[in-house]
Amino acid sequence: MKMELTISTDAIDEAALAKRREMGDGMGAVICFLGVVRGSEGDAPITAIDYEAHEQMARHQFGLIFDAIEKRWPVESVRLIHRIGVVPVNEPSLWVEVVAPHRPEAFDACQFLIDEMKKKVPIWKKPLSV
């Protein structure tokens, strides 16, 4: 399984990511998920979220999750970008792509990846307001 992980303060460029995709002839399903910063946390309006990562550990934990996916589903590739630092409202903090032969495993692997990330990958949010 091809794996690509980026943890960076750069904005996520969906169009560029789509162009760089390479997939084999046997692959029939691509799923992309974007997690986008919403304009409120709880009831309070915010302008951005400041993401902090324990980067070295985050990379390791993402790697463990990718390995678990590779064991469980016939996924050809996973690409994941988590933006850190200040991410303004309406911009994505997370981009995940899973390429697989069929839709069910693409959906299952993508949801598994995000669920596991939310349990294990050491990244935290601090909401910012004006």
Partner 1 sequence: MIIAVQFWSYFADFAGCKKTEIEIENGTTLAKLHERVCEQFPKLAEAKNSTLKAVGVNYQDDDFVLSDGDEVSFFPPVQGG
- In the complex, the residues that contact a second copy under the rule CB under 8 A are 14-15, 18-19, 23, 25-40, 89-90, 92, 101, 103, 106-107, 111, 114
Nearer to partner 1, 19 or 82 (CB): 82
Q: What is the largest CA-CA distance in the chain?
A: 49
Which residues in the 72-101 window bind partner 1 by CB under 8 A? 82, 93-94
Of 4, 13, 52, 67, the one binding partner 1 (CB under 8 A) is 52
E strands, 54-122, are 77-83, 85-88, 92-100
39 binding partner (options partner 1, a second copy, none; Cβ < 5 to 8 Å by kind): a second copy
The packing angle between helices 103-120 and 55-72, to 10°, is 150
> 32: how many CB neighbours lie within 10 A of its CB?
16
Cβ neighbours of 69 (radius 10 Å):
22
Chain contacts with partner 1 (rule: CB under 8 A): 35, 51-54, 56-61, 82, 93-94, 103, 114, 117-126
